[in-house]
Every structure is written in structure tokens, then in C-alpha cells.
Structure 1
Amino acid sequence: MKAITYSAYGNPLELTEVDEPKIGPDWVKVAVKASSVNPVDWKIGSGGLDGALDTFFPVTPGWDVAGVVEAVGPAVTTLAPGDEVFGYVRKDAVHGGTYAQKVSAPIRTVTKKPQSLSFAEAAAVPLAGLTAYQSLVHHLDVKAGETVLIHAASGGVGLFAVQIARALGLRVLGTASEVNHDYLRALDVVPFTYGDGLVERVRAEFPDGVDAVLDLNGSDLAISPGLLADSSPGRIASVIDPVVKDMGGHYVFVTPDADDLDALAALADDGKLTVEIAATFALADAQKAWDLSQEGHTRGKIVITVD
């Protein structure tokens, strides 16, 4: 089968022939229809996470997937061949990822695809959507009626976070570049510009502050306690900087979880979670997809489709 690989850190991506993946008793084999690019993909490819993750070359990158179940292990009872699925296929080591025609996946990492989303749209959801969902629900423990401020609200994770927050009944504030303010207003988000004076700008409109802060860029993390209504750093979560723990907040490293994926699928099928695709590339053009992602100026997700 064909897959994208790199043979050493920093090497360009290549379309190559690789062996089909094996499946364990509680794994499934998925015929991939689409994957999506997350910044962590090329950060791993550069060696930036070598100290945290075991890597075995050649590497096929990618953790997001949408496709069709081709085979299941003997212990699998929740999925069957022919099922359309999506998932966040993060394994214990970096080697056989989702930029491929087929991928093996532990059953805990995949679930049935939202019926309302195409394969391309579904592939854009898992990592970013789970990051947003787990941050808000499991770490910040938000409740309907509360106010949350999301840093980098127009980014890949941010666009899911604002929709999930609205679906949970929250009032949402978001930081973003001026060019994205009208877009956020259309999502019922109150936009603010990043940087110096942010606390004063927020307090001018919301004198009592906010109940929780979700940091998705790191640049305004240090001033975030000043945005909170009760100055409790336990209501701050960051997916960027573990220093948030020293502040008394929560550091979020997204976890594969089929139940949380089901919750995202339900939001999508209820019309409460939509997907913006910034660009689509064929599998053979994965390097171009990485190049675009590294420019850092896209709104929405970059998707890789697989024939």
C-alpha cells in the first residue's frame, strides 16, 4: 500500500510503498479516506518532540483519520467491517500514522463518523475537536451560563472551542487578529485583539471578568489570571505551556477517547458543530500541506484526501 513517510528528522515527506498494518485483538484496520494536518505532525517530523515520544523510522505521520473499517480484531464488538469511522489514532510510539491508504487503530481511538459530515470534514475534527472538548468539559468543568475567554479563537482548535462552548450554553469571548473579528461575531463570539492592554479592554466591556480562560496560543497566558472574575487560576487551561500548572491551572494534552468523539459526533449531527476546511491536498502532496500549515496563516483545517 502507499503511505507518506520520512526516514529521518527534517527529511522531506515522500510517497512510498509500505507493508499493510497489522491489527491486534482490540484494534481495527481502516481504509483511509482522509486525514488532516495538525502542527504537532510537523513538529514531530522536525524532531521537536523526540524527548517525549519514541520514534521508529521510517515514520508515517498523522493522527487524524476518517475512513471505512476494513477488518476488526477478535475482541472488537462495537465496530464492524463497512462502518464509517473517524478518530484520533495516537499510539504509544510514532511510526504508522494516518497519512496512508490504510491504518491500524486501537478501538479506544475511533468511533462511528458523524453522518452529517463528509470524510474530509470528519477527518478535520478529532485532534482539534477533542482538544477543545476535553479542555472545556474535563479540565475547566464549565457550566451553562458561565463566561469563557478563548485565546486564539479563530485558530484550528479555537473554532471548535467556540462552537462547543456555545453549544454548552456559555457566553464566549475570543482573542483574534482584527481580520477575524467579524467572523467570530458571526459565531456569536465577542472578539478582542491580542496583546498589550487586553485585560483593560476586556474589563471595560465585562467589568466582572470571566469565569474561565482557555489558552490556545501561549502569548497571553501570563496575564490571564487578571481576566478572571475571582482570580482563581484553577479556571485557566492551556494546551501550549505547562507553566500553567505552576499558576494553579491545567495543562491539557489531548487524549484519544471514543466517548468524547461520540459527543463531538452528536454535536455535529445536531448542527451545533461545523467544520471549516482551509485547503485540501492529495496524499502525494502532503509536503505542500505541511508547508502551508507552517506558514501559520490559515483559518480552519488543512485536509489530506486519500484515494
Structure 2
Amino acid sequence: MPRVVIFDEFGGPEVMHVVEEALAEPAAGEVRVRMEAFAVNPLDQMMRSGASPAPVPLPQARLGVEGTGVVDALGPGTTGLSIGDPVILTAVPDANVRGSYADYTTVPASRVVVRPTGLGITEAAAVWVAFSTAYGALVEKAGMRPGDHVLITAASGGVGRAAMQIARQIGAVPIAVTRHAAKEDELLAAGAAAVVATDHADIVEAVAHHTGGTGADVVLDLVMGPGQQDLLKAARPGGTLVAAGFLDPRPAPFPAGPPLTVFSYRSFEHTLDAVVVKRMAAFLNAGLRLGALRPAVDDKAFSLDAVVEAHRHLEKGLHAGKKIVVTTS
């Protein structure tokens, strides 16, 4: 019987376990996807531990907002896809019910896109959440343009790396922010035009230096918390800050300082919009063809039966900001 990862209580990785469940039939307008691989995301960790911003009903909650596989069955009236099509999941807002940590999942047909040609299974499993979040925040929300100086926090993480690549593809100038100067060479190699290490430099002064004194046109804040005040000061008057992360759970004071446009962003805002998803997929496909976009994947892949170990790998930071992938076969 097909396997699925569930958890019945909140806690550490050990609360997850693999069970067998009957194969579900897709409803009208849905597809059933035979999963080949999925990525482990911080949101999965938050759901599992009880720290998710949205409630997670227990018991038998599922996990997984990202993955790739092959269309295995079509529900009544489903069009535009065929059995055997390789696809990527684009949105799983009800991951506690349809999560990708499984051999199979059913989703509305509008929530998958055809897997880009030439993209391997592990990369396909790890590409969508990071790149759609970064694209949605920077392009759709902030209106990033060529020549913009873009300040990116948590730059060594999956979304941060994707944001640097997307900025480069647009013709913008990505400035990476990290807490550790030891990551500077790695971030430059990943696409940063400049790196600000907050353990060695004042972020406001450093950004002024890298922007010729004008400040950042766009700030992508993937951390939040009290540190956001320094980011606001590093932006130019009239610039834009997009708060798209939650790595620091402490309150972020009400924005003060230069006049800015401030947005709060969550990826489902766009990944549930079929028109925007079409633009996202076209942008991603173009970037992949040109070699401008590529997901950073951890060297170690895990099997479904080792999903607990995969989460421990995430919590220990052994993935160095790269996506952790679990394969189902």
C-alpha cells in the first residue's frame, strides 16, 4: 500500500512516522500525482513543531508543500494534463491534508505545472517554493527593475539564493546580507554583487557604500524581528521593503524612518492565482534554459523512510542553506 508521513502530536522530528494508507481517487478537476521526490522546508518544521502561523489539526496531520512527480490519475472533467506527465506542485495550502510527504497525493489540476525539460528530479523537487516566493516578492510585489539595488537578508537560505539569481536575471544588483563574514565567498559565488556581513560591518553604512550613498531600492526581508529597523534605514527614501519571512519570531517594531512602501508577503498570495503562476512558470523555464536559475540542493538525499533524519539534518543546519530532498522510490 502507498506510504504517507503523518504526525499525531507536535514536537521534534521523532513525532513523524510512516504509515500505509489506501490510494485515494482524484475528485473532479483534480489529479493524482505519484510523488518522486519532495523538499523539506522551514514551514514543514514549523507545522511539525506546533509553531505554524496557521492551525494544524491533529491527529494524522500530513506535511509537505513542495515536490515533483508524475500524473497517475485524472479526476472527472480534468483537462490540460495527461497520465504520465511529469509535474511540479505549485501550491499545497492544505498540506496537513494533501502534503507531499507521501508516495501519492491528490491536488487540483490548477496546482501543478509541467516539469521543465532537463531539470532532474531532485532539483525539480526543490525549485518551486524558493523561486516562486522570491519572484512573487521581488517582481510581482515590489516591481523590481533593471538597475535596482536589492538588499536580501538570509541570503544563504533557499529563498535568498533564488532571490539573488532572479535579481541577476532581471538586471538588478543583489546585495546579500549574512550574519557571518565566513559566508562571503560562498554568497559571491552564488550570485551576490556584494555581501554585508553583520558580524563585521554596520549594515546601513555598508549598504550606503555599495549603492553610492543612495540606499537600497528594494529590500527583501526574510528574517523579520527587531533587525528590520536597520533594513529600513538602509533603504532609499521612496524605496520598497517586502517582509516575506519569519525566521526571527520576535516582534518587528512598526516601520519608522524614511518614507517607504512596506509590504507583507506570503507566497500563497500568488501561487493560488493561475495567471501569476503562468508568469512564474514562464520566468522559471526561461531562466533554467539560459542557465541563470538553478536550485541549490544539499548533497545528501534521503529516502522516505529516513524523513526523521532529514528533519534533523535541517535543524542542525547541516544543509548550509541548500534544499534537502527526500526521494520516494
Q: Scaled by the length of structure 2, what TM-score is found?
A: 0.86
Deviation of 1:75 (Å): 2.9
Which of the residues 291, 298, 307 maps onto 2:312? 291
Of 262-271 and 132-141, the range deviating more from structure 2: 262-271
Which of the residues 291, 297, 302 maps onto 1:277? 297
After superposition, give the CA deviation of every residue in 1:226-272 in whole Å (9 maximum; x if it has no partner): 11122x36x00011259779535111111224422343233223311
- Rounded Cα–Cα distance in structure 2 between residues aligned with 1:237 and 1:147: 14
Partner of 2:232: 225
C-alpha change, 1:88 and 1:294, in structure 2 (3 Å) is: farther
Matched to 2:48, the amino acid is: G
C-alpha change, 1:75 and 1:179, in structure 2 (3 Å) is: farther
Residue aligned with 2:130, SS = helix
Partner of 1:118: 120
Residue aligned with 2:33, SS = strand
C-alpha change, 1:33 and 1:151, in structure 2 (3 Å) is: same
Deviation of 1:143 (Å): 0.9
Is contact 2:64-2:95 (8 Å) kept?
A: no
- Rounded Cα–Cα distance in structure 2 between residues aligned with 1:57 and 1:21: 19
- Rounded Cα–Cα distance in structure 1 between residues aligned with 2:301 and 2:73: 27
After superposition, give the CA deviation of every residue in 1:272-292 in whole Å (9 maximum; x if it has no partner): 111221131000000111111
Matched to 2:236, the amino acid is: A
Is contact 2:224-2:245 (8 Å) kept?
A: yes
Which of the residues 193, 196, 211 maps onto 2:197? 193
Matched to 1:252, the amino acid is: Y
Give ranges in structure 2 of 5+ residues lacking alignment: 256-260
Is contact 1:237-1:249 (8 Å) kept?
A: yes
C-alpha change, 1:201 and 1:93, in structure 2 (3 Å) is: closer
Matched to 1:171, the amino acid is: V
Give ranges in structure 1 of 5+ residues lacking alignment: none
Partner of 1:15: 18
C-alpha change, 1:33 and 1:155, in structure 2 (3 Å) is: same
Partner of 2:157: 155
Is contact 1:34-1:306 (8 Å) kept?
A: yes
After superposition, give the CA deviation of every residue in 1:88-109 in whole Å (9 maximum; x if it has no partner): 3413462231111111112232
Aligned: 1:254 with 2:257: no
Cα RMSD of the aligned pairs, angstroms, is 2.1
Which of the residues 181, 184, 207 maps onto 1:181? 184
Indicate the percent of aligned positions where both proteins have the same amino acid.
Answer: 28
Partner of 1:211: 217
Is contact 1:89-1:97 (8 Å) kept?
A: no
Residue aligned with 1:55, SS = coil
- Rounded Cα–Cα distance in structure 1 between residues aligned with 2:254 and 2:22: 45
Residue aligned with 2:284, SS = helix
Residue aligned with 1:9, SS = coil
C-alpha change, 1:245 and 1:20, in structure 2 (3 Å) is: farther
Is contact 2:217-2:235 (8 Å) kept?
A: yes
- Rounded Cα–Cα distance in structure 2 between residues aligned with 1:306 and 1:266: 28
Residue aligned with 2:39, SS = strand
- Rounded Cα–Cα distance in structure 2 between residues aligned with 1:112 and 1:130: 15
More relative contact order, 1 or 2 (CA 8 Å, 6+ apart): 1
Of 193-202 and 104-113, the range deviating more from structure 2: 193-202
Residue aligned with 1:191, SS = strand
- Rounded Cα–Cα distance in structure 2 between residues aligned with 1:198 and 1:136: 20
Partner of 1:81: 83
C-alpha change, 1:201 and 1:106, in structure 2 (3 Å) is: same
Matched to 1:191, the amino acid is: V
- Rounded Cα–Cα distance in structure 2 between residues aligned with 1:179 and 1:109: 39
Task: Provide runs of 4+ in structure 1 moved above 4 Å.
Answer: 241-246
C-alpha change, 1:246 and 1:75, in structure 2 (3 Å) is: farther
Partner of 1:30: 33
Partner of 1:240: 245
- Rounded Cα–Cα distance in structure 2 between residues aligned with 1:53 and 1:273: 34
Matched to 2:196, the amino acid is: F
Is contact 2:203-2:231 (8 Å) kept?
A: no
Equivalences, count: 304
Of 194-203 and 268-277, the range deviating more from structure 2: 194-203
Partner of 1:106: 108
Which of the residues 66, 69, 79 maps onto 1:67? 69
- Rounded Cα–Cα distance in structure 1 between residues aligned with 2:55 and 2:215: 39
